[in-house]
Amino acid sequence: MTNTVYPKGAEKILSGAINLQTNTIKAALVSSTYAYGATHEFVSSLGTRIGTDQTLANKSVTGGVFDADDLDFGPLPPGNTVKAIVVYQDTGNTSTSPVLLYLDSGPTVGLPFTTNGGALTVPWNDDAKKILQLGLPFYPLGGEAAISGSINFLTDTLKAVALPSSYVYDPSHRFLADVPSVVGTAVTLTTKSITDGAFNADDIDLGVLAAGSILGSVLIYKDTGTPANSPLLLRITDITGFPLTTGGSNVSVRWSDGAAKIFRLTQV
């Protein structure tokens, strides 16, 4: 399978319960007897781990990318098959330590492999994703806020507003004030939920929009009351009926009915 964010871990990240930069984050080696389960929530679900779990040091969160120093597990007992690496938040109790990432196709160590008594070092990927990247549809600042626990998709005031088709995505856009123009008035997302790593909310009514605009996407941001410090979170482009030319009538946006909903945090 591909590297995956545990759904329960994704829920905790998106609800602001996990701060990858400041919390104690560890990596565990799981054996071939472990079978990934989407319902697994805590380290106690992993069974017997191989060697000693390692704490991630010198963690950083930059532009939606999580990174840390490479890992050194030291010598491992021979005769075990390491199937994958699981990254988790350590609370000091395996029954309350949430599992976050399941990595079986990288970092840059061949998985699975059989231990032979030698030492194991794990270099994290040197590509743009590092350990974890919240890429599109996230803006870099939005991904950074999610990973660092400074945004709670359930309780923070999130608003959505239409963007014209002429808008060109720019990763340097950080706050609402950086966006050159929007169409109509922003509306607050209601009845928000996070299930299996998918964020959803009620469909939105943008109201009557003057004729002559072409809607290309919808911007979601955290409203602080001031455009200059209201962080951009997501730009949603996969909307049925978009691009849409306004004709002076009411415009509604229906979010996806698929598993991804507004967006889904799944693959690393």
Check whether residue 91 and residue 162 sit in a common domain. Answer: no
pLDDT, residue 267, reads 72
Check whether residue 64 and residue 124 sit in a common domain. Answer: yes
Check whether residue 170 and residue 123 sit in a common domain. Answer: no
- Residues 119-166 have pLDDT tens digits of 999 899 877 778 999 989 999 999 999 999 999 999 999 999 999 999
Last residue of a domain, one of 80, 99, 133: 133
Is there a contact between 52 and 77 (Cβ–Cβ < 8 Å)? no
In this predicted structure, the answer to whether residue 107 has a pLDDT above a threshold of 80 is no
Is there a contact between 225 and 205 (Cβ–Cβ < 8 Å)? no
Last residue of a domain, one of 70, 102, 133: 133
Check whether residue 122 and residue 155 sit in a common domain. Answer: no
Task: Count up the domains in the chain and report the number.
Answer: 2
pLDDT, residue 92, reads 97
Check whether residue 8 and residue 98 sit in a common domain. Answer: yes
Check whether residue 21 and residue 89 sit in a common domain. Answer: yes
Check whether residue 169 and residue 255 sit in a common domain. Answer: yes
pLDDT, residue 241, reads 93
pTM score, two decimals? 0.92
Q: Could you tell me the residue range of the domain that residue 200 belongs to?
A: 142-264
pLDDT, residue 108, reads 61
Check whether residue 40 and residue 81 sit in a common domain. Answer: yes
Is there a contact between 205 and 252 (Cβ–Cβ < 8 Å)? yes
Distance of alpha carbon 256 from alpha carbon 241, whole angstroms: 12
Check whether residue 221 and residue 113 sit in a common domain. Answer: no
Check whether residue 125 and residue 245 sit in a common domain. Answer: no
Q: Which two tokens stand for residue 171?
A: 């990763």
Distance of alpha carbon 39 from alpha carbon 47, whole angstroms: 15
Last residue of a domain, one of 133, 152, 172: 133
From residue 86, alpha-carbon distances to 41, 97, 165, 174 in Å are 12, 12, 41, 32
Check whether residue 99 and residue 152 sit in a common domain. Answer: no
Is there a contact between 18 and 44 (Cβ–Cβ < 8 Å)? no
Check whether residue 231 and residue 251 sit in a common domain. Answer: yes
From residue 247, alpha-carbon distances to 165, 235, 240, 250 in Å are 15, 23, 17, 9
